[in-house]
Amino acid sequence: MFPKWLGGYRAARYLSCVNIEAYPQRELNALLPQRFQNWFALRGWAPRPHQFELLARAQAGHSVLLIAPTGAGKTLAGFLPTLVDLEARPKRRPGGAHRGIHTLYISPLKALAVDIERNLGKPVSEMGLPVAMETRTGDTPAHKRQRQKLVPPDILMTTPEQLALLIAGSDAQRFFADLRYVVLDELHSLVTSKRGHLLALGLARLRSLVPGLQAIGLSATVSDPDELRRWLVSQNPPGNMADLITVSGGAKPEITILDSDEHVPWSGHSARYAVPEIYEAVKKHRTTLLFVNTRSQAEFLFQELWRVNDDNLPIALHHGSLDVSQRRRVEKAMETNSLRAIVATSTLDLGIDWGDVDLVIHVGAPKGASRLAQRIGRSNHRMDEPSRAILIPANRFEVLECRAALEANYLGAQDTPPLVDGALDVLAQHVLGSACGAPFNADLLYDEIRSAASYINLDRHTFDRVIDFVATGGYALRGYERYARIRLTKEGLWRVSHPRVAQQYRLNVGTIIEVPALNVRYVRQGRGAVGRGGPTLGKIEEAFLETLVPGDTFLFAGKVLRFEGIRENECFVSNAPGRDAKVPYYGGGKFPLSTYLAGEVRAMLADPDRWKRLPDQVADWLRMQADKSALPRREDLLVETFARGERHYMVAYPFEGRLAHQTLGMLLTRRLERAGAGPLGFVATDYALAIWALGDMGHMFQRRQLPLAELFDEDMLGDDLEAWLADSWMLKRTFRACALISGLIEKRHPGQEKSGRQVTVSADLIYDVLRAHEPDHILLQATRTDAAAGLLDVRRLAEMLSRIRGRIMHKHLERISPLAVPIMLEVGKEPVYGAASDSLLLEAADLIEEAMGE
Amino acid sequence: MRTAARTQSEAIVIAGERVVCDPRGVLYMPDMELLVVSDLHLEKGSSLARRGSLLPPYDTAATLQRLQAVIADYAPRRVVSLGDSFHDGEGAARLPEIFRSRLEVLMDGRDWYWVAGNHDPQPPDGVSGRTVQEIAIGGLTFRHEPSAHPIEGEIAGHLHPCARIVQRGRSVRRRCFASDGSRVVMPAFGAYTGSLNVLDRAYHGLFSWPDFRAYMLGSSRVFAIAGALLRPG
């Protein structure tokens, strides 16, 4: 078997490459040194056209973006210019100075850096190339990092955080003096987060250090390649773009939606109904990769598969919370093809390849067409053979969503999110890092930062406020001048005021905010938290554990576990085999439904012709809905009202994703409260929103006592949003992240005792004080921007509200409609919003009064 | 006696003395016209700033503002600040003039006792009031650190108690008064004071568990929660 990562393919087969004007063969050969030609020939391979193309453009001095599906040999293409360059480089004279880094490789995953080093090592040694390669990640020991500074390798494989640390070193200028290429892998996934902002700033710094630097971006297909082309190069002058090479997809994937003989559930996320059919599919294939959206779904599916695994097939579980040694064992087993199936979350999403996967099963809706395409790309990593994939919708709405995603994948539609402006908390971190490297001139740094596409819109005033924030906190009450972290020298340069500041910076670099999590450790049952305990199984979020009582059972690491208690930073559990996990798992996914898929689902609902491609039970459901209520047109919003029990319900179907619906629910309940409808609570799913109230909302809409158009008016995004936001836990959570990234508060490092809590100042307290005394502070501004784009999804809500103006369709019904059943089933299962925590305290206090007869 | 108009306090009896737990985190003894606050940690922000954490410099303002509100409500004749009134020994000296005069206005016409705490063992610089190690008023003794053994009639601070319950799958964590009817550990009042769960080891041996209640601070009233409902963390 030849290494798939090379995109190795036999010379006889050809790929279609779009937008490449073919070079004559003679010229191609001139590009590629004899040693490389021989090596390819020896293996019966030929370099692919896009690999040549990238080499030619890089040698002409250009930066390049290569967009290609998995399996196209992106990695070799990305490194070919480097290897060719290094091959021709004269040998270092003995005793001569050490040369700096030649090529920097940056990937989002530590594991990927390690993987690439291993894979690239083979051709390098077989060709006898004089190339030294090393990785540098958070796990690299201090002595090795030290040595890397003194004797740099030719190729250094690293992560965005390590790059930030390297450029904040006082020796950065020397270290990067010989840098020629930066290779950015999985660029599509890097650029969408705050890590991408940090990387963009790092890249801008590198371009200042090394003016001739060329960037090579490797990416999966995205909706707007020009964004990435601009991202890769200096935006001074604005509009510069890297060259683009696009490799079209290989064979069309064979994707089917499971047409189950079983009843497809109305709601829920477990897909339990399909487990026997999934198992049959696993049996018929060599290796199956099963993707799910959340850790808890992975645990559930794994458990259910083993329940029916009569043939004892080797089926494994892989997700990010599991103990590292357990994950490595699974990865190892995959590499040697000794597994038949792996249930995995997004930890396996990115370009690491293991084993011979011939089927991908996606359980639950994919939430985005591009995400689906990337996951399916995991199967059969050769472009010339079609990938096989089966989608398993967990409920009826997911049937519609899967159908829409499937049609999108056939059409090649892309719905990767647009890039957003760089975040200010990340900028603050970078400004401090810059000062740690060398004293900086604010004018020059401002120009450098704006050369990064992510920060091209940064205005000077905001930039100066960020510098002020880094120096003294940027408060209107100027009390901290004497404690400044950076100070302006007489020469007009900003300099770190104390070496301790640089130390603090190094401990807090990065943009990944770890959710507080506890180690899960085995003990014998009934011992409580006293026994010493056995092995660690992994980590679980504190927030989940906080809701458990000793004796509760839950699923983790593929086992049913009994919660015994918490001590310090460990959670003790015992085995509870043969029982059902009592504590329900959180079923929703963390990715919201993409705007594109949402539009497609609405289009499908509106067009009875398209129902023919749906399973009968789902099509029947839609026909019933048309009969009993109505189906909205593509751009319309359907609102249904009906009474049930003592309560009045309103169900709206915006299809804009759970986050936007939660925000909408919060805002609508405020308005309903003011209008005297007496709202009691609401639940939100990816597709719909249900609010229940004491008052008859339908009646109020009909008598125009509260016109629907007014209820859904866009002005809710003004004062109502402000007022609600002020106390929202979502804003507090977002503030905490901004405070950590910007360096206002420090990360909690392992070993810091929890009982130190009365000494540390929690981010919530800081937030309350800052909001009361300086609501316009730059960090609160950054927090609101983040929340609007992130947890609140205000942008999408705003687009929806403007779309439905004058297009709201109201149905006042005798009883619940077929379309409303799924969300009504969620009532009671999902947390109810709007209930103040004081009312929970009151319940607990009342229990005592009852018991004590007070 | 005047009480807050909008808030509902919880009256309890400690060693025979009636005391009122106010949801704003202060204790009032009506018979003595005595207001007790604990762990103000004034100038904590500037204290941390000296070590490089540039937290918003508004904590003293926020704490004094809240203190002003409760003093206006109760108009007490005596005030005891139960120690750690300033976050460090130089805190009082660093106190900006505007806050110093605001504090003096609050102290004017009242007997004001600064109980020495571990953060501020010396009398505060340039601020009036009497500094004491501990003080007995009515049948109660006021000191900063709780005595390590069970004791009758002690009001202390230092530990910054909070409690947590889980109800309907949701977790609620609040500052609280910790008491078993014999003694009280007061919640911290300062704007930047963190808190420590009453189930932590630091509280072991202080209380008679069957009589224990965490008087959790709600937004407008105090909720008495029994030990069995409390959760660690």
- pLDDT single digits (tens) A37-64: 888 888 877 788 888 899 999 999 999 9
Q: Which residue of A has its CA nearest to B41?
A: A759
A16-32 pLDDT per residue, tens: 333 344 455 656 667 88
Q: What is the pLDDT of residue A8?
A: 35
pLDDT of A837 higher than 70: no
- pLDDT at site A411: 62
pLDDT of residue B2: 44
Residue A10 has what pLDDT? 30
From A664's Cα to the closest Cα of chain B, the distance in A is 22
In this prediction, residues A260-278 reach a mean pLDDT of 86
Is A774 close to B58, i.e. CB distance below 8 A? yes
Mean pLDDT of A541-566: 78
Instruction: Provide the pLDDT for residue A836.
Output: 52
Q: What is the mean pLDDT of residues A629-645?
A: 92
* pLDDT for residue A36 is more than 70: yes
Q: pLDDT at position A531, please?
A: 54
The stretch A812-840 carries a mean pLDDT of: 74
- What pLDDT was estimated at residue A264? 86
How high is the pLDDT of residue B3?
44
Q: Which residue of A has its CA nearest to B169?
A: A547
Residues of A in contact with B160 (CB under 8 A): 758
Whether residue A318 contacts residue A348, with contact meaning beta carbons closer than 8 Å, is answered with: yes
pLDDT at A548: 73
Residues A472, B54: C-beta atoms closer than 8 Å: yes
* CA–CA distance, A748 with A760 (Å, rounded to integer): 10
Which of B21, B55, B88 to mutate: most A Cβ within 10 Å? B55
Mean pLDDT over residues B210-227, rounded? 91
Query: Contacts of residue B164 in chain A, CB cutoff 8 Å?
Result: 546
Q: Which of B38, B28, B36 is nearest to B3 (CA)?
A: B28
Q: Residue B156 pLDDT > 90, yes or no?
A: yes
Q: At what angle do helices A74-88 and A49-59 cross, to 10 degrees?
A: 50
Tell me which of A74-78, A155-159, A768-772 is least confident. Answer: A74-78
pLDDT score, position A279: 95
- The pLDDT score that the predictor gives to residue A763 is 87
Instruction: Tell me the two tokens of residue A289.
Output: 């990769």
How confident is the model at residue A412, as a pLDDT?
65
**Cβ pair B224:A848 closer than 8 A:** yes
Residue A1 has pLDDT above 60, yes or no: no
- The SS3 assignment for A102 reads coil
Average pLDDT, stretch A661-674?
87
pLDDT for position A353: 56
pLDDT of residue A850: 52
∠ CA A770-A776-A777, nearest 5°, is 55
What pLDDT sits at residue A492? 94
Over residues B46-62, the mean pLDDT reads 92
Nearest CB to B225: which of A483, A549, A844?
A844
Average pLDDT value over all residues in chain B: 92
- Please say if the pLDDT value at position A567 is more than 80: no
Domain B10-229 sits in CATH at 3.60.21
Mean pLDDT (whole number) for A67-84? 84
Q: Which of A308-322, A476-490, A737-751 has the lowest mean pLDDT?
A: A737-751
The yes-or-no verdict on residue A589 having pLDDT over 60 is no
Question: H or E element: which one contains A283?
Answer: helix A275-284
Looking at beta carbons, which residues of chain A come within 8 Å of B216? Answer: 841
Chain segment A462-480, per-residue pLDDT in tens: 999 999 999 999 999 888 9
- Please state the rounded mean pLDDT for residues A531-535: 69
The predicted model gives A146-162 an average pLDDT of: 92
> pLDDT value at position A849?
58
pLDDT tens for residues A90-146?
887 777 778 889 999 998 877 677 778 777 888 899 999 989 999 898 778 889 988
Q: What gap in Å lies between CA A484 and CA A500, rounded to an integer?
A: 12
Q: pLDDT at position A107, please?
A: 87
Question: Residue A195: which H helix or E strand, with range?
Answer: helix A194-209
The reported pLDDT for the residue numbered A99 is 86
At residue A11, the pLDDT reads 29
Angstrom CA distances, A306 to A216, A331, A389, A581, B209, stand at 44, 19, 21, 15, 46
CB A361: neighbour CB atoms within 10 A?
26
Question: What pLDDT is recorded for position A377?
Answer: 65
* Average of per-residue pLDDT across A171-185: 94
Q: Which sequence spans correspond to the domains of chain B?
A: 10-229
- Position A6 confidence tier, pLDDT thresholds 50, 70, 90: very low
In 10 A of CB B35, how many CB atoms? 24
For the CA atoms of A109, A112, A114, A117, what is the dihedral angle to 10 degrees?
-140
d(CA A371, CA A413): 11
pLDDT score recorded for residue A730: 72
Does position A588 have pLDDT exceeding 50, yes or no? no
Select the residue from B99, B212, B223, B225 to test the A interface by mutation, using most A Cβ atoms within 10 A.
B223
Cis peptide before A393 (omega within 30 of 0): no
Q: Say whether residue A88 is in contact with chain B using an 8 A CB cutoff.
A: no
pLDDT at A854: 39
> What is chain A's percent helix, strand, coil content, to nearest 5?
45, 15, 40
**pLDDT higher than 90, residue A832:** no
- Mean pLDDT rounded to a whole number for chain A: 83
Would you place residue B94 in the very low, low, confident or very high pLDDT band (cuts 50, 70, 90)? Answer: very high
**Beta strands A315-318; A341-344: pairing state:** parallel
Q: Is the pLDDT of residue A9 over 90?
A: no
Q: Shortest Cα distance from A161 to chain B (angstroms)?
A: 22
Q: Mean pLDDT throughout A390-418?
A: 81
Give the model's pLDDT for residue A590: 57
Contact at CB, B46 and A840, closer than 8 angstroms: no
Rounded Cα–Cα distance for residues B59 and B57 (Å): 6
Shortest alpha-carbon distance between residue B34 and chain A (Å): 26
Residue A581, pLDDT score: 66
Residue A141 in tokens = 């020991």
Section A350-372 average pLDDT: 73
What average pLDDT score do residues A562-583 get? 76
Give chain B positions within 8 Å (CB) of A746.
53
Chain B neighbors of A683, CB-CB under 8 A = none
The two three-digit tokens of residue A573, written as one number: 């559990």
Query: Among partner residues A549, A766, A842, which is closest to B55 by beta-carbon distance?
Result: A766
Q: Looking at per-residue confidence, does A784 or A205 come out higher?
A: A205
Q: What is the pLDDT of residue A376?
A: 72
pLDDT score, position A542:
74
pLDDT at residue B169, as a whole number? 65
Question: CA nearest A744: which of A763, A758, A724, A719?
Answer: A763
Residue type, A718: G
